């Protein structure tokens, strides 16, 4: 494995030195921090995919319900949860759209 020399500021060096564990080299510390960042990005993407799919499913259910029972557009979802179906559909669509944007803006890792 080859080595490369890089130039960093004193502030960056001190910051890296604080983050480095006693039993690892600077190279190992940089690799570890890169992989932790990568795993956080993947976790964000996975959570957003689940939320987006679930929200889209709720939105489609609300639309199907409103098409099946057009006179009950302003029905509540269930008696113990006073959320109207039209509000539920709007909120679910907005949430699925926001999560899709987050997924698009967090690029997938190449590891």
Instruction: Name the token pair of 94.
Output: 């907005």
Per residue in 59-99, pLDDT (tens digit) is 888 888 888 887 776 777 666 767 777 788 888 888 988 88
- 8-state DSSP, 24: S
Q: How many domains are contained in the chain?
A: 1
Rounded mean pLDDT, 42-68: 84
Per residue in 9-32, pLDDT (tens digit) is 899 888 888 888 889 888 888 888
* Residue appearing with tokens 């604080």: 18
Let me know if residue 18 belongs to a domain. Answer: yes
* The pTM of the whole model exceeds 0.85: no
| Total H helices, total E strands in the chain | 3, 2
Which residue blocks in the chain are alpha helix, DSSP H? 10-19, 26-68, 85-105
> Residue 35 and residue 39: Cα distance in Å, rounded?
6
> Residue 9 and residue 92: Cα distance in Å, rounded?
47
Let me know if residue 5 belongs to a domain. Answer: no
For 17, how many CA atoms within 13 A lie in the half-sphere containing its CB?
A: 7
Let me know if residue 1 belongs to a domain. Answer: no
Let me know if residue 111 belongs to a domain. Answer: no
């Amino acid at each position: 494995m080859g080595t490369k020399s890089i130039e960093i500021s004193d502030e960056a060096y001190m910051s890296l030195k604080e983050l480095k564990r006693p039993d690892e080299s600077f190279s190992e510390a940089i690799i570890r921090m890169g992989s932790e960042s990568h795993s956080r990005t993947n976790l964000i993407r996975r959570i957003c995919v689940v939320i987006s799919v679930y929200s889209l499913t709720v939105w489609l259910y609300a639309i199907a319900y409103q098409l099946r029972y057009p006179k009950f557009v302003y029905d509540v979802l269930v008696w113990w949860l006073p959320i109207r179906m039209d509000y539920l559909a709007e909120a679910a669509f907005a949430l699925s759209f926001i999560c899709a944007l987050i997924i698009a803006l967090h690029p997938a890792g190449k590891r």
